[in-house]
Amino acid sequence: MLVLLPPSEGKTAPRARGPLLDLDALSAPGLTPVREKVLDALIEVSASPDAMRVLGVGTSLSEEVARNISLRTASTAPAKHVYSGVLYAAAGLDRLTPTGRARAAQSVRIVSGLWGLVAPDDPIPAYRLSMATHLPGLGHLPGAWREVIGVELEARAEGELVVDCRSATYLAAWHPPRSADWVAVRVLRELDGTRSVVSHNAKHTRGVLTRHLLTRRGRAPHDAESLARVAGELVGSALLAVELGPPTRGARTLELVVA
């Protein structure tokens, strides 16, 4: 099983006395050359008068953009502590038992505009960069990452269940191979018999599913059908219903219905 997560916009800055950024300390060392290029481009953009426009953020985030300038000498903490948005609060990657931590280390990968891929324990600083950004000299970030992420994950995903909790922005960076049992997790709200797509609740619910996959007893799901059965264990508590879409040439859809 491979669980793909997006990063969170909300990040907790590591303590000043934490270890400094070392790209060689990150997993997936084959991504390091592109990480170097993206990091250099982000630092240069963040120091420019055009930084807010290029990074697509408002003035309220000016301090976070300014922090990008010092990323080379920034303190780090495990990614599971730095990412602190709604999905990560629900997934609780920083609150797992030793068994859960081992499962997360093996199965969970976070797709990032700056790092490409990180594992939960990879030491990273807080930063501001969306995968939707066009960085000067690199272009659209999904295009910069697609090939090297593919090299890293193609063999890992071969014949495996891929539980894809990414948003569309991060989905653009890599698609699993056809040999993978690829399942995209979609969250719907049901109100008065009508279902609609949600955003904030979607992040929370994907986090709940991720935590369930890492903490439940028994074997991990190995295909789309067993994933749907495992997700169905949440019906009556976190979910109203679970529905698995039919096989397609791309991802199957696992719909998680909430109130």
DSSP annotation string for 167-221:
-HHHHTT----TTSEEEEEEEEEEETTEEEE-SHHHHHHHHHHHHHHHHSSSPPP
How far is residue 27's CA from residue 86's CA, in Å, rounded to a whole number? 24
Whole-number percent of the chain with pLDDT over 90: 93
Phi, psi angle pair for 75, to nearest 5°: -75, 150
What is the widest separation between alpha-carbon atoms in the chain?
54
Q: Name residues whose C-beta falls within 8 Å of residue 168's C-beta, 6 or more positions apart in sequence.
A: none
**Taking 80 as the threshold, does the pLDDT of residue 200 lie above it?**
no
How far is residue 258's CA from residue 189's CA, in Å, rounded to a whole number? 5
Residue 151, SS3 per DSSP? helix
How far is residue 217's CA from residue 210's CA, in Å, rounded to a whole number? 14
Residue 13 structural domain: 2-258
Q: Name residues whose C-beta falls within 8 Å of residue 177's C-beta, 6 or more positions apart in sequence.
A: 154, 157, 158
How far is residue 248's CA from residue 259's CA, in Å, rounded to a whole number? 28
Lowest mean pLDDT among 15-29, 87-101, 188-202, 227-241: 188-202
In the chain, the number of structural domains is: 1
Query: How confident is the model at residue 17, as a pLDDT?
Result: 87
* Strand boundaries in 32-180, DSSP class E: 77-78, 108-112, 116-118, 123-124, 134-135, 139-140, 161-164
How far is residue 166's CA from residue 113's CA, in Å, rounded to a whole number? 12
Helices and strands counted in the chain (H then E) = 10, 12
What radius of gyration do the chain's Cα atoms show?
A: 18
What does pTM read for this prediction?
Answer: 0.96
Mean pLDDT of the residues in the chain: 96
Q: What contacts 24+ positions apart, CB below 8 Å, involve 192-196? A: 195/257
User: Average pLDDT, stretch 128-133?
Assistant: 98
Span 83-113, pLDDT tens digits = 999 999 999 999 999 999 999 999 999 999 9
Contact 183, 224 (CB under 8 A): yes
